[in-house]
Amino acid sequence: MAAKAKGKKVQRPEKPTPKPAEKPAEKPVEKPEEKKPEKVRKKEKGAYTRYKVDASGLTRLRPYCERCGPGYFMADHGNRFACGHCGFTRYKRP
């Protein structure tokens, strides 16, 4: 390390500061606030969509999952039934 001289101040040349260009004061342009479209909520389906009421009593419209057991209905996808809980798929016979 180099030894520093004590008591001596090193003078540095001053840098010229640039003067800001004068511009006429402009008002900020106000943009009209855009309203966000409201989210469309799907209508929730109740348990009544999974059963059919007959004179003889209740009948299930969709099967339960074979892996998960009672309480887990399988979704009807046209050519197959699928469980949303475990992913089990059972294909319908043609």
- Strands 80-83 and 64-65 come out as unpaired
CA distance 3 to 11: 18
- Strands 58-60 and 51-53 come out as antiparallel
- Please answer whether residues 90 and 81 qualify as being in contact, where contact means their C-beta atoms are separated by less than 8 angstroms: yes
Q: Edge-to-edge strands of the sheet including 80-83?
A: 64-65, 69-76, 80-83, 89-91
For residue 76, give its domain range: 48-91
Q: Which two tokens stand for residue 71?
A: 């309480």
Assessment of whether the complete model's pTM goes beyond 0.85: no
- How many domains would you assign to the chain? 1
In a domain, 25, yes or no: no
Task: Give the model confidence (pLDDT) of 29-88 as tens digits.
Answer: 777 778 888 899 988 888 888 899 999 999 999 999 999 999 899 999 999 999 999 999
In a domain, 62, yes or no: yes
